[in-house]
Structure 1
């Protein structure tokens, strides 16, 4: 047994105390899967609305605002941490396994169970760590004013809420539901945001009078209340202080573009060695790594934003801190925006006018997103077991060969397609994100890309089951 393998053995003593969803001992009917998926989603949405007990009102800007789109989190509620711990633990463990830092044989049932247990334990530790960090950093008020009792109570609430997310994700992954909890919660959070900004009945007080937040509601309200109908339509389409109809149409357009590109793929003809005449195809999609590049890119940028804001608040006069990022609080919006430094240049321009006013900012942002998404995509195939070498091994294990090619040249043939699909697909994902941001789509380019790719995966799942 190799020295690397000892890491998984360290998990064995704690496996008996880790919460676990048992593997189903029968085939779960499709309708029952839908039911469990709906129950899991309902629990998650309820937790998103239950406020944390014991917190004090904090008027400070939300330092995690930029991360919430991919974390399915809701500030001040049980879902404050969202899926952050489980995503972090999953990606770190995947990277460790893919880069062979820890040795895992996924063909062995014991190894799979230990790896899953290690991921779960790591997720629980991250949940506790993040909960303590949130409380200590003053997210819920000054620590002295909160008191030890309230601080511990908040940490316990966040920990148990994080545990619920881990269990719900495992419930779906084990086959009781459809897809994974992570994907389901991200897509629901983003879609909820889009629907709310389109149809929100909440009123906002502006200099022009009371307006509705929802773009569609605002359109009808303006048409009814204003005498000049052309001016009413113009305001509904182009108002800048709240979601407008143009933002909504841009969101729909990006949805359609992403769905169109989802169908791009190359089918490689394969045949079975043992069964003569039986052929099949191995599809290599344009979005070979799906939404992973934009998740990693957003996670990188979000963490940079977070640390940049913390440093800027404490060391505003430091030159290095200013180079990293300069921030301005937006009181009405409840978050800070970058106005200088690296953080500013890697953030999307707020409008088309801003692109014209500062083309250097737009150019740096475009270059950063395209290059980072392409690099993340190429790196991910190497560490996640989806490179040409790994795919060739999977095909050989299934006794399959590429039609018209020798078995020994399988890796070379796959190398013509997979790295290109990964890099170019990553760049396309990045480009679509940029387009969505520039058009002002609701929910940010990243959010829409995540929502569409996840919804499309569910659509493919439904089609496969119904056949």
Structure 2
């Protein structure tokens, strides 16, 4: 209820962007920071260890006489956040920010004012983070249904073909170990990905295909399809430079669906990389956080430009 009320406040102009997106990004960033700097100690059977990867690095360097082994333990320790997980998270952040700059500039000109020209940008991430959000929602629902069916009909052949769930390494958390949902779920770590290449290949194909398909579908239902964009440009009195008004839709149809599908596949590939490298906060969570934060950065920059222009006019 509180989240809904805060979202309503932002929607009415008391803040920037969507409240739901802000809360998602805040929650994911809190999780990443906690796993990097948590001072909580956990008994892993080898004595108490710090949960935070950075805290554990300094603790191991100060307490272990063999510094090389201490570094190796800090970078590759199992079942707790490590430095490699943190570096993978930072790498995904940098990759998404870098790829956000890729775009195709479609030159447009005004059909009402002579000499007025501009451009319509079609970004690589044309549908932003929607593909990974829809893919995550689909997978979560399928996993939930599979777990419910397996808990009640674990001996049924069709249920077992759909998914078999077991706890691993003494943990109470269930993981898919066979069946369809096993190939839809990410490998637990990079080592497991190498040991089961068929699972890894199937997961990569599923992620890239699902994200590309959801991205192409989203442009049709969100009002950002080539036909919708052509209508918007026409209503604003804009035409593509070097093209007739009738051929504008064909040119947009050549560019926009390709950008949407390829951008969705890139989002899926980044999510796969995050999962395989064990990025803090999961692959999907990391991508959602960085795309939302980048969106807020653009909104703030746009608001700053408008405020600056208003100040110049009033001054």
* TM-score interval, normalised by the smaller of the two chains: over 0.9
Unaligned 5+ residue runs, structure 2?
306-315
Cα distance in structure 1, aligned partners of 2:172 and 2:239: 57
Cα distance in structure 1, aligned partners of 2:72 and 2:169: 27
Cα distance in structure 1, aligned partners of 2:79 and 2:278: 13
For 2:67, the equivalent position in structure 1 comes to 229
Cα distance in structure 1, aligned partners of 2:170 and 2:209: 34
Cα distance in structure 2, aligned partners of 1:236 and 1:180: 38
State how many pairs are aligned. Answer: 305
Give 1:287's match in structure 2, choosing from 115, 125, 137: 125
Cα distance in structure 1, aligned partners of 2:301 and 2:268: 28
For 1:404, the equivalent position in structure 2 comes to 242
| Structure 1 residue 210: Cα displacement | 0.4
For 2:14, the equivalent position in structure 1 comes to 176
Cα distance in structure 2, aligned partners of 1:234 and 1:174: 51
* 1:38-79 Cα shifts (integer Å, max 9, x gaps): xxxxxxxxxxxxxxxxxxxxxxxxxxxxxxxxxxxxxxxxxx
* 1:105-133 Cα shifts (integer Å, max 9, x gaps): xxxxxxxxxxxxxxxxxxxxxxxxxxxxx
* 1:155-202 Cα shifts (integer Å, max 9, x gaps): xxxxxx3xx322222221222110001110111111011000000111
Cα distance in structure 2, aligned partners of 1:456 and 1:241: 31
Larger CA deviation: 427-436 vs 323-332: 323-332
User: Helix, strand or coil for the counterpart of 2:118?
Assistant: strand
Pairs within 5 Å for 1:120-269:
161=1, 164-269=2-107
| Structure 1 residue 252: Cα displacement | 0.4
Cα distance in structure 2, aligned partners of 1:166 and 1:324: 36
| CA-based RMSD | 1.2
Q: Which structure's relative contact order is higher, taking Cα pairs within 8 Å and 6+ residues apart?
A: 2
Q: TM-score, normalised by structure 2?
A: 0.94
For 1:346, the equivalent position in structure 2 comes to 184
For 1:463, the equivalent position in structure 2 comes to 301
For 2:312, the equivalent position in structure 1 comes to none
User: Helix, strand or coil for the counterpart of 2:9?
Assistant: helix
User: Helix, strand or coil for the counterpart of 1:405?
Assistant: coil
Over 3 Å counting, the alpha-carbon distance change for 1:243 and 1:333 in structure 2 is farther
Q: TM-score, normalised by structure 1?
A: 0.64
For 2:209, the equivalent position in structure 1 comes to 371
* 1:344-379 Cα shifts (integer Å, max 9, x gaps): 111111122212211110010000011111111111
